[in-house]
Structure 1
Amino acid sequence: MVSILQILLMVLSVAQFIILAHIIMSWLINFQVLNLRQPLVGQLWYGLGRLLDPVYDRLRSVLPAMGGIDLAPLLALLAIYALRIIIVNNMPMFY
Structure 2
Amino acid sequence: MTALILLIDQVLAIYTYVVIASAVFSWLFAFNIVNPRNQIVSSIYEVCWRLTEPVLGRIRSIIPAMGGLDLSPVILLLGIFFVRNLLRTGLY
TM-score (norm. length: structure 2): 0.90
SS of the residue corresponding to residue 37 of structure 2 reads: coil
- Report how far residue 24 of structure 1 moved: 1.7
Which residue of structure 2 aligns with residue 10 of structure 1? Answer: 10
Stretches of structure 2 that go unaligned for 5 or more consecutive residues are none
CA contact (8 A) 2:60 2:72 kept: yes
Return structure 1 stretches of 4+ with deviation > 4 angstroms: none
Given the alignment of the two structures, is residue 58 of structure 1 paired with residue 44 of structure 2, yes or no?
Answer: no
Q: Distance in 2 between matches of 1:12 and 1:89?
A: 15
Which residue of structure 2 aligns with residue 90 of structure 1? Answer: 90
Q: What is the identity percentage for the equivalent residue pairs of Structure 1 and Structure 2?
A: 33
CA deviations 1:40-91 (Å, max 9, x no partner) are 1111222221221110111011114423111111111000000011111111
Calculate the aligned-residue CA RMSD, in Å: 1.3
Q: Distance in 2 between matches of 1:65 and 1:3?
A: 38
Q: Distance in 1 between matches of 2:63 and 2:90?
A: 29
Number of residue pairs aligned between Structure 1 and Structure 2: 92
Q: Distance in 1 between matches of 2:56 and 2:24?
A: 16
Q: Distance in 2 between matches of 1:28 and 1:86?
A: 33
Which residue of structure 2 aligns with residue 26 of structure 1? Answer: 26
Q: Distance in 1 between matches of 2:81 and 2:35?
A: 31
**Larger relative contact order, structure 1 or 2 (CA cutoff 8 Å, min sep 6):** 1
